A = this chain, B = another copy of it.
């Protein structure tokens, strides 16, 4: 199949693309969502959802369009992580790609698992990634670093959680992203100071012996903190 059938060359900016690393948190692990390509170039390989910019389109608009077309998701947390400009990153000609990461909650968000561009979608643990197309492994590595910094100055970690969560779940999320153990008492004290959590009148039934309290987060307060920035030193 001719790769140019994906788009009309006159409609796109052929040296600017976007690629998106989608992070999800499930079974106490940080994972990323990859798609197996149905079309050339790199047909049959696992890759990040990505594509060229349309003329007259902003980069974030392109990222959201491509993300929606590939995954069916919209209105999700998206953040630019920088430009990838290695001379031969796209062997056919020089293409600059602007990387993003997206944070989703696999439990909340329903995904498309295949479409005309992809054969299959699959969650992968970060230490068990398959071989990826182009420089996508490098983009994943940079996204991982940025996520680590980001959760320390904005409360975006919450985007990865289901609507109702327990404090142990929340702590595990931060431990997995920051890649270190956190002191339980200290962690809870800091959370309480942020005034971000709402305790619900419900318990998590997964642990039958000791059902944990469920929490949600205060969306109004959350928005203020995302805007202001905060420092969540652990």
Contact = CB atoms under 8 A, between A and B. Distances in A.
Given A152-B153, A153-B149, A153-B153, A83 B85 contact: no
A195 B153 CA distance: 23
A98 interface: yes
A15 interface: yes
Main secondary structure on A side of the interface with B: mixed
B15 A229 contact: no
A82 interface: yes
Interface of A: 13, 15-16, 55-56, 58-59, 80, 82-83, 85-87, 94, 96, 98, 149, 152-153, 229, 231, 233
Contact of A16 (B59, B87, B96, B149): B96
Contacts of A98: 83
A152 B56 CA distance: 36
Nearest to A80: B82
Contacts of A86: 58
Nearest to A62: B85
A222 to B, nearest CB: 19
Given A58-B85, A82-B80, A13 B231 contact: no
A152 B82 contact: no
Nearest to A145: B229
B229 A149 contact: yes
Contacts of A152: 153, 231
A122 B222 CA distance: 41
